[in-house]
Amino acid sequence: MSTCVHRMAVGFAFVGLAASAIAQQTPPPPASATHGAAAKGVQERELGRLALSADGVSVPPTLDPAAWRAVIPSDNALDAKRIALGRKLYFETALSSDGSVSCSTCHDATRSFTDRRPVSEGVGGALGRRNAPTTMNAALLHVQFWDGREGTLEEQAGQPILNPVEMAMPSQEAAVAKLKAAGYDAEFQGAYQRDVNYEDLQRAIAGFERTLIFLDAPIERFLAGDRGALSDDARAGFVLFNGKARCVSCHAMSRDNPLGTDNRFHNIGVSARTKDFESLAKKALAMLAEDGSEKKLDELAVGTDLSELGRFMVSKSYADIGSFRTQQIRNVGITAPYMHDGSMQTLWDVMDHYNKGGEPNTFLDGGMEALALTETEIDQLVAFMFALTDQRFAALNEEEHARQRALAQKQRPFKDEAIALRRVFDFEKRAQGGAK
């Protein structure tokens, strides 16, 4: 076993890991559901099956107690009343301008707490430009959103409510007024000893989201000594993950960081297929010079082509153009489609993208290079990634593995064996007119 693999194993031992066309390939939502989300009652039943913590005291079983306490802010200690309020607000469609969208619309409990769409649909059918990340384990991330523009769950929770392509409330005051009209004052008093206010609204939703910890996967049992917890392919993928495939460079997992993200930002060449980064950057700087408010940044990042600039919109550093936060890889098998724009349907697509070194562009991360992975090795890596799914989703995980495999057998849009296996350089293919 390599040194990298050994370090990873020791860390785990302590813990106990075209849009319309894409939409047609995603499992269809119930026809009667608003915006494609499952009905509230259906989602509530799923939450019951998942047996989430409801008292705010219990430490998730696979987390170190000290590490868990460190992610709970001092002004939002968890308790049963705050969690209950946040859970109710998570489903509250009154927080949208037309009463049709809630947090659960895009972070559906029956769809791995995302919406399984390339990009999300808000009020009036408005489409944003980014894929909705799962709210599972979001409490353990160092920063929130694809571009890291917010640092806490509390800060994150308030932005979609006001964004015009998401929930489209005109102001914080309007949201508070709607909750007051819906009779929420008593519940806010019980949870925070104050009447309805926007800051406690954010705190309550964040408190509920801190109960969404899903880290009990086959990889834990394997690293605890149960060799049979992983298939032969998944065990081989584990070695590749820490070695030849170089996944561990950005997706290392440890006791302190069980999610498999370095919490940093990288340009891996996703947007480079279609976007002129330099022109977008000039436009962004001009618009942010006119209005650099948090609200304006949120609107530009979610609802315009400037979304493709990623972290640059926050840092204004050219080194960050086209860079997005390294996503967690826990439960990755059940949270398709992938990447910030939902442009990759399967984990085979993801591996094909990395195998050929991403898409060349001026701002491509220096760590991106062709990996020379064979088809067998790609299958093994995918098998390992499906072993990172919490056991409560075992049936869905098996179903999704089969679905993605079947889809990958029909189409692999990012596959390029000539470049991946270093038989030819990308600039040679471009010169021959054989690559974009």
Structural domains of the chain sorted by starting position, each given as residue range(s) with its CATH number in brackets: 33-209 (1.10.760.10), 218-431 (1.10.760.10)
pLDDT at 125: 93
pLDDT of residue 433: 65
What span, in angstroms and rounded, lies between the C-alpha atoms of 334 and 327? 14
pLDDT for the residue 33: 57
pLDDT at 67: 84
The H or E element spanning position 266 is strand 265-266
d(C-alpha 321, C-alpha 306), whole Å: 10
**Residues written for the chain:** 436
Q: Give Cα 112 distance to the centre of its chain.
A: 10
What is each CA distance from 384 to 17, 42, 103, 305, 435, in whole angstroms? 11, 31, 31, 34, 31
Q: Which of 380, 370, 379, 377 is nearest to 417 (CA)?
A: 370
Q: What is the pLDDT of residue 272?
A: 77
Torsion of CA 113, 117, 123, 124, to 10 degrees: -150
What are the average pLDDT values for consecutive 10-residue runs of the chain, which has 436 residues?
40 36 41 76 96 86 85 94 98 97 97 96 94 97 96 96 97 98 98 98 98 95 93 98 97 88 96 85 96 94 95 96 97 98 97 95 94 97 98 97 98 92 75 58
pLDDT of residue 231: 97
Q: What angle do helix axes 172-181 and 153-162 make, rounded to 10 degrees?
A: 90
User: Quick one: how far is CA 84 from the chain centroid?
Assistant: 24
pLDDT of residue 274: 79
Reduce the DSSP state of residue 344 to 3 states and report it: strand
Q: Give me the pLDDT at residue 257, please.
A: 82
